[in-house]
Amino acid sequence: MIRIADLKKVYRTDEVETIAVANANLRVDVGEFVAIMGPSGSGKTTLLTILGLLDSPTEGEYYFLGNDVSQYSEKQRTALRRRNIGFVFQNFNLINEMTVYENIELPLLYMGIGSSERKAMVTEMLEKMRMTTRRNHLPQQLSGGQQQRVAVARAVVGRQRLILADEPTGNLDSRNGDEVMNLLAQLNEGGATIIIVTHSTEYASWANRTVQLYDGHLVNENVTRGVEDVLELR
């Protein structure tokens, strides 16, 4: 599903040039559950923004569903991202002025899905997340765990095939953390590809595979060049 080759991301500010990710090679196949680990500042979030098509790499190749997207314009990346990728954040990032229902519905609006279908999809998702009774609440009225469940719902409601999560359990206690990890695991069983950044070795062990980042370098990752997934782009 994803393959990056010799990927490099450099941040330039006035005085310093930070190499956040250096010569990274990684391959993630459809249906995998990958955990990324590494010390603070090692480039985990940076890698995730590139994988998530939020940012473009400074150098290197990035094949997403078989297409080299490293040179895509922002507009092209947006179009691709909106249908295929869902995000879950440490700090939830729900829109405070919108209800639970509206937050979950939002990506479907951008996908251009018709209203009755949309309603069905959101309702189904609310049930799945056991949030039906809270559909008209605003995010502030929910506990952290509940907010994160809404965020997960929003990430997958449009049947996105890749879920990227940056320390999704970071702001949660262990009970809520476990619950969110359970959800992700279920989604993975349902066919979604999941990449998660975490500091917890315990949660990392839920994944099929763990990759380590040190100072921008990926460790223990071998990628065979030249073989691409043959998957149709949505």
Partner 1 sequence: MFWSYVKTIFRNISSSKVYFFINIAGLAIGFTVFTLIMLFVLNEFNYDTFNRKADRIYRVVETQKAPGTKAQQVAITMGALAPALASGFPEVEDAARYIPWSTVLCRYGDRQFYENGLSFADSSFFQIFTFHFIEGNESAAFDGPYSVVIDKSTARKYFGDADPIGRTLSIQAGLDQNTFQVSGVIQDFPRNSHLHFNMIASMNAVERHSRFFNGWGNNNAVTYVLLKNGYSPEELEKQFPALLRANLPADSWNALEMHLQPLRNIHLYSDQILYQVNYNKGDIDYVRLFVLIALFVIILACINFINLTTARSAIRSREVGIRKLLGSYHSHLVYQFIGESIALSLIGLLLSFPVVEALLPTFNSIMGGRIIIDYNNELSFLLMLILVATIVGLVAGFYPAIYLSSYHPVELLRGRFSSSRRGIILRKILIVLQFSVAIGLVTGTGIVVSQMDYVYSKPLGFDKNDLMYIPLHDAESRNKIGLLGDRLLGNPKILAVSAGERTGAGRTQGPVSVLGTNGRSRLLVRESYVDYGYEKTMGMQIVEGRSFSRNFPSDSASAIINETMRKILGWKDAIGKQIEMDNGRVFSVVGVVKDFNYSSLQHKIDPLVIWLDPGRCPYLLVRVAPQNMQSTIDFAGKTWDYVLPNHPFEYGFVNNHLDNLYGNERQTEHLLALFSTVAILIACLGLFGLTLHTTEQRTKEIGVRKVLGASVGSIVFMLSTESIRLVIIAGLVAWPTVYYLMSRWLQNFEYRTAISAWIFVLSGVVVFLVAMFTLSFQAIRAGLTNPVNALRYE
Ligand X SMILES: Nc1ncnc2c1ncn2[C@@H]1O[C@H](COP(=O)(O)OP(=O)(O)OP(=O)(O)O)[C@@H](O)[C@H]1O
122 has which bridge partners? Answer: none
In whole angstroms, the minimum distance from the beta carbon of 222 to partner 1 comes to 28
d(CA 52, CA 166): 11
- In angstroms, the Cα distances linking 33 to 111, 128, 170 are 25, 21, 18
Is the backbone of residue 128 left (phi > 0), alpha (psi -120 to 50) or beta? alpha
* Helix ranges restricted to H, 40-192: 44-51, 74-84, 100-111, 115-128, 144-156, 174-189
Phi-psi group of 54: left, alpha or beta (phi > 0 → left; psi -120 to 50 → alpha; rest → beta): alpha
87 interface partner picked from ligand X, partner 1, Mg ion, none, CB below 5 to 8 A per type: partner 1
Shortest distance, position 223 Cβ to Mg ion, whole Å: 23
| Residue 89 touches which member of partner 1, ligand X, Mg ion, none, C-beta under 5-8 Å by kind | partner 1
- Please, what is the minimum distance in Å from the beta carbon of residue 31 to partner 1? 24
Looking at beta carbons only, is 134 or 154 nearer to partner 1?
Answer: 154
- List residues near ligand X by CB under 6 A: 11, 13, 18, 20, 38, 40-46
Smallest separation, CB 125 to ligand X (Å):
29
Q: Quick one: 18 or 225, whose CB is closer to partner 1?
A: 18
When asked if residue 45 is in the footprint of Mg ion (CB under 5 A), the reply is yes
Site for Mg ion, rule CB under 5 A:
45
